[in-house]
Amino acid sequence: MAELEEVSSAKCFGGYQKIFKHKSAELGSEANFSVYIPPIFTQNETFPVLYWLSGLTCTEKNFIEKSGFQQYASQHKVVVVGPDTSPRGLNIEGEEDSWDFGTGAGYYVDAITEKWKNYRMYSYVTKELPTLVQQNFPVDPTRQSIFGHSMGGHGALICFLKNPGMFKSVSALAPIANMSMSPWGMRAFTAYLGPDKEAWKEYDATELVRKQAGKGGEIPEILIDQGTEDEWFKDGKAYLLPEHFVDAAKEAGVPVKLRMQEGYGHNYYFVSTFIRDHFEHHAKHLTK
């Protein structure tokens, strides 16, 4: 069993909001992650687990402090796990220079360039972390789902689409839905994956959903919320591009519900307003 150190623990809505750290093999650095454990009433009870992926600049703390999700995790009896958003402290030249690249901006890919070889958030999130969680917490590994915000919405969509059967459901709030076409994605993918755009397609939600043509019937409806006043979306800003994802999904026959939320921004006030709906979306698949 990998060694976990408890960093903090606080009672919240009858359960416990905890943060742990461990030495990550994938990232070659220490990594923090959060775990919410709902109230436990029965010995040996196991819970479904919902993975939350955060956006640019976030650590494992933003979601647990700002979204108010614990109310719904407690109510639906779901364990919620939230990793950090990149390796930290690797002393890679330039890793601290930008808020949207390097530290806090792992984009949930496995980098293939030598310089960023430790940036393996994709394998961390889909392999190392779930194994660690299954070994250490009362979760049922057959009931897992994933969701996220912004860069983390991108992460949730690609982790779901690349691993059929691993997650029961997926949802996203203001996801970067077409990384290859987003200024954020173009910069990060060039650095982490190199200039060959074929490699980018493996981590681009719009490209991945395109490949599901004919398999849509097996995929549960994908829920996406997008605020109309989101500063990365409104006035033709092309950072998020949820419409590209929706078009590709429809073409491929993959069910997707995009809800335009009038007047909402890109912030945690938006996330906190709709997080209840996302728990209800996942609970349909996780708790029966």
Residues that bind its own copies (CB under 8 A): 10-14, 17, 65-66, 68, 70-71, 227, 229, 263-265, 267-270, 272-273
The SS3 assignment for 18 reads strand
Which H or E run includes 172?
Answer: strand 170-173
Q: Residue type for 51, please?
A: Y
Query: Choosing from 86, 150, 171, 182, which is the catalytic residue?
Result: 150
Question: CB of residue 22 vs its own copies: minimum separation in angstroms?
Answer: 22
Query: Choosing from 76, 145, 230, 282, which is the catalytic residue?
Result: 230
Of residues 64 and 219, the one with the C-beta less far from its own copies: 64
- For residues 29 and 87, what is the distance between their CA atoms, to the nearest angstrom? 6
Count the alpha carbons within 13 Å of 266 in the hemisphere toward its beta carbon: 18
CA 39 from chain centre, in angstroms, equals 24
Question: CB of residue 58 vs its own copies: minimum separation in angstroms?
Answer: 13
Answer yes or no: 140 catalytic: no
Of residues 39 and 255, the one with the C-beta less far from its own copies: 39
Count the alpha carbons within 13 Å of 231 in the hemisphere toward its beta carbon: 2
Query: Choosing from 266, 278, 281, 282, which is the catalytic residue?
Result: 266
Closest CA to 240 of 148, 175, 186: 175
Q: What is the CA radius of gyration of the chain?
A: 18
Structure tokens at 274: 């709709």
Answer yes or no: 84 catalytic: no
Of residues 17 and 103, the one with the C-beta less far from its own copies: 17
Of residues 61 and 127, the one with the C-beta less far from its own copies: 61
- For residues 201 and 6, what is the distance between their CA atoms, to the nearest angstrom? 37
Of residues 28 and 265, the one with the C-beta less far from its own copies: 265
Answer yes or no: 204 catalytic: no
Question: CB of residue 35 vs its own copies: minimum separation in angstroms?
Answer: 13
The SS3 assignment for 260 reads strand
Q: How many CB atoms lie within 10 A of CB 46?
A: 15
Structure tokens at 237: 């800003």
Question: CB of residue 227 vs its own copies: minimum separation in angstroms?
Answer: 8
Catalogue the active-site residues.
Answer: 150, 230, 266
